[in-house]
Every structure is written in structure tokens, then in C-alpha cells.
Amino acid sequence: MARSTPQQTLQRLRIIVAIQFMGATLGLPLLPLFLEHRGGTPTIIGLIMASFFFAGVISQYFFGHLADKFGRRPILVTSLIIYAVASGFYIVPMHASWFILARIFQGAAAGAFEVASMSAVAARFPEETRGRAMSQIIAAQLLGIAIGPMLGAVVNVSQLGWAFFATGVVSLIAALVTFSVDLGDRAFDPTPLPPMSWNPQLLGALGAACAAGISIGVYETCWSLLMHSHHASTFQIRLSWTVFCLPWVLLSPVGGYIADHWNRRWVATLGVLGGAIFMATYPHIHNNVVMLITGSFESIFSALSVPSISSYLTQGADNREMGRRQGLYTTANTASLAIAATVAGTLYSQSPALPFTIAAISASALGLASFVTWRRVPGHVTTELSQ
């Protein structure tokens, strides 16, 4: 097995994660137009876009199980290769309907990649430093999301296939780099996996994951529509995503420090409730500049709280159950995102404020439920917890 220190593992994973998320979001602003040029109807385009998320929903726990059984490196390498091959199909001159297969494989690969990378960080870092380590991976994701759409602005529709192809080449390079990264895998153990403990840490984290997924799903469907209704320019809509991501990237070390030194229960709950308050506020703001500024403040809440939720997820977990825990977390998050995104459009057509209000209420209820679930779980990291 290739050896590297935990910090070396973290640094390499940060680079790989940032590049992957940048590539995944590079073509998203123009992907519907690209599919339209390939003969896609609005219905077909909607199915293709949704297939990415649903592929993740049905595969993430499965890949988490495989990571616990056979190790994280095989899953991470395989996911990068599958993503690369699927990305290469975008240069093939075929009808839009065939791209649903490419998006399914991309979605499954992206889900496996996230499960393997996050569980690897949890396995390599002890409890007292895990929050800071997890926050850096989350920051790398957000950095990629912040850069990807802006870089995509310089790519036209006719070049989008080659942009995806280039992303696939980078994924292959990342797969080669992964061979030299210690992902916390132990020697293969043929014995059955230990049963996963459905403890309050896990259950509360799943509730928080659903709260975040509902919010993201509404933003995916309705945010651009809301800004457009306020006469925002295309540049302002693109900028809003970047303005949201950058404070998170900059403050992620602070969020990690808080997760390792403050009471995770309070920090995580306040983060979920704060996000719900922001969501309920947006439909009543009619100035796009104020919306951009408000989005930055919401990002601060998320940056300071999400590492605490991620740390709770694996607190006290056995090394051979971290993949399944991460798989459940991402499945809960992606499933709630997909459902919210599907329903939000219909609600928005009735009233622009309706999906935001319902999502805010739902997220608040889930946040409070998580707080109650965590009531007997230690909120502070202690030496005993990390052993």
C-alpha cells in the first residue's frame, strides 16, 4: 500500500476534489442548451438533468458498503475512471436522449467519489482534528463549484463536449495520483463487516443532511428564477453562486476549528436554523445587490456549521463502517435535494415565496429534531472520544 501522512492525504484529496467539482460544474450553465442542440425536448432535458441526482441516490450507500468491505482506494480510483469515460461521450455526435446514460454514470461515479473521499478523511484523522480536516474537503468542493460556472462562461455551446472531455482526462490523471495516496485502508479483512450502529450521532446527522438537501433543491430550481424575476442579469445570476461559495471557502478553517473545540450540537443546530431563516427571507428581497450580500452572510453560517455536522456523522464510528455512514449521509442529502428540486418548480408557479417558505419550515423542523436526537451525545471532543 502506498504511504502518505494524514496531511499529505488531505492535501492531495483537496486538489482532486476541487478539480472534480470544478469539472462537474463547468458545463452546467450551458448543458441544457447543448442538449437542446442535440435534439432534446424540455422533457428529455429534464430527465437527463435529474438522472445525475437519482443515480447518486440509488448507488451511494452501495459504494459506501463496498468501501468498507474492500477499501476506499479501489472505489475512488474506479469512480474517477467511470467519470472520465462518461465525460468522453459528450464529444460523440449522438442524439440528446443517449446522454441520459452518460449522466447516470457521472452521477453514480460522483456519488462514489464523494463517499470514498469523505470517509477516507474521517478514517485518517482522529476526533480532535477531524472537523478541521473535513472542513478542508468541503471547502475544496465549494471552491470547485465557485470556479466551474465562471470558467464555463468562456466556453460556448459548440465547445462544451470538448470541455467535458478535458474534464475526463483530468479525472484519469487524478485516478493515477490516487494510487500514491494512503486513504486509511487496512489490510483486506475477509470477515463480515461489523453491523452499523444506528446511534444518535448518525440519526441526527441524517436529519441535518435532509435539511440541507431540501434547501439546495429549492435553490437549484428556484434561485435563478427568483433573481430573474427581479431583473437580474445573467452575470449577476452566475456571480451569486460564486459569491455564496467564496466566503465558505475562506472561512472553512474557522468552521473546522469550531467543530473541534466548541459544542457541535449547538453549532450544527444553529447553522441549520440560520439557513432556514435566510431561505424564508429571500423572496421578500427585491434588490439583487442585497440578495448577493445576504447570500454571502448565509454562506458564513454554513461554513461555520457544516463541519460540525460532518464530524458528528463519524463520531465514535468503527473504521469499517465509515463508508456506509457517509453513503447514508450523501443518499439522504441527494434524495431530499432531488425531491425538493422536483416539487419546487410547481410551488414556485403558484407563488414565488411558497417553495422557500415550505423549505424553511421543513429545514427548521429537521434541525430541531436533530438537536433533540443529539441531546445525550457529547458535543465537545474529548480524548476519550478520539480513542
Task: Specify the pLDDT at position 152.
Answer: 65
- Cα–Cα dist 344/360, whole Å: 12
159 occurs within a structural domain = yes
Asked whether residue 209 falls in the same domain as residue 354, the answer is yes
CATH code, 335: 1.20.1250.20
Please say whether the beta carbons of 278 and 301 come within 8 A: yes
Question: What single-letter amino acid sits at 43?
Answer: T
368 occurs within a structural domain = yes
What global pTM score does this model have?
A: 0.82
223 occurs within a structural domain = yes
188 by Cβ neighbours in 10 Å (0-12 / 13-18 / 19+) ranks as: exposed
263 by Cβ neighbours in 10 Å (0-12 / 13-18 / 19+) ranks as: middle
191 occurs within a structural domain = no
Count of C-beta atoms within a 10 Å radius of residue 175: 19
Task: Specify the pLDDT at position 202.
Answer: 93
Dihedrals φ, ψ of 156, to 5°?
-90, 175
What are the contacts of 286-291 at 24+ separation with CB within 8 A? Answer: 286/230, 287/230, 288/227, 288/230, 288/231, 288/232, 288/236, 291/227, 291/230, 291/240
Question: What single-letter amino acid sits at 197?
Answer: S
Asked whether residue 216 falls in the same domain as residue 170, the answer is no
246 by Cβ neighbours in 10 Å (0-12 / 13-18 / 19+) ranks as: middle
**Cell 439583487, residue located:** 288
Asked whether residue 223 falls in the same domain as residue 169, the answer is no
- Cα–Cα dist 310/122, whole Å: 9
Q: Which of 183, 291, 178 is nearest to 232 (CA)?
A: 291
Please name the helix (run of DSSP H) or strand (run of DSSP E) that holds residue 309, with its range, or none: helix 288-314
Task: Specify the pLDDT at position 237.
Answer: 76
Asked whether residue 230 falls in the same domain as residue 369, the answer is yes
193 occurs within a structural domain = no
Dihedrals φ, ψ of 300, to 5°?
-60, -45
- Cα–Cα dist 304/256, whole Å: 7
* pLDDT string in tens for the chain (387-residue length): 456 788 888 888 888 888 888 877 776 666 777 888 888 886 787 778 778 888 888 888 999 999 998 889 999 999 999 999 999 999 998 898 898 999 899 989 988 998 999 888 888 888 888 888 888 888 888 888 878 777 766 777 777 888 888 888 888 988 888 887 888 787 667 788 888 888 999 999 999 999 999 998 888 778 878 887 888 876 787 788 778 888 888 888 899 999 899 999 999 999 999 999 999 999 999 888 899 899 889 988 888 888 999 888 988 888 889 899 999 999 999 899 888 887 888 888 889 899 999 999 999 999 999 999 999 888 887 544 444
Task: Specify the pLDDT at position 384.
Answer: 43
Task: Specify the pLDDT at position 386.
Answer: 44
291 occurs within a structural domain = yes
Instruction: Report the domain count for the chain.
Output: 2
Asked whether residue 213 falls in the same domain as residue 174, the answer is no
Across the chain, which distance is largest between two alpha carbons, in Å? Answer: 61
Asked whether residue 140 falls in the same domain as residue 39, the answer is yes
Asked whether residue 307 falls in the same domain as residue 339, the answer is yes
Angle between helices 322-350 and 288-314 (to 10 degrees): 150
Asked whether residue 228 falls in the same domain as residue 364, the answer is yes
Task: Name the H helices within 315-353.
Answer: 322-350
How many residues are recorded in the chain?
A: 387
Q: Which of 118, 146, 178 is the last residue of a domain?
A: 178
382 occurs within a structural domain = no
Asked whether residue 143 falls in the same domain as residue 216, the answer is no
Asked whether residue 137 falls in the same domain as residue 74, the answer is yes
Asked whether residue 74 falls in the same domain as residue 165, the answer is yes
Rg over alpha carbons for the chain, rounded to the nearest Å, is 20
Please say whether the beta carbons of 341 and 218 come within 8 A: yes
**Cell 433573481, residue located:** 227
Asked whether residue 82 falls in the same domain as residue 122, the answer is yes
**Cell 440528446, residue located:** 96
What range defines the domain where residue 262 resides? 200-376
Residues 6 or more apart whose CB falls under 8 angstroms from that of 332 comprise: 206, 209, 210, 213
Task: Specify the pLDDT at position 78.
Answer: 94
346 occurs within a structural domain = yes
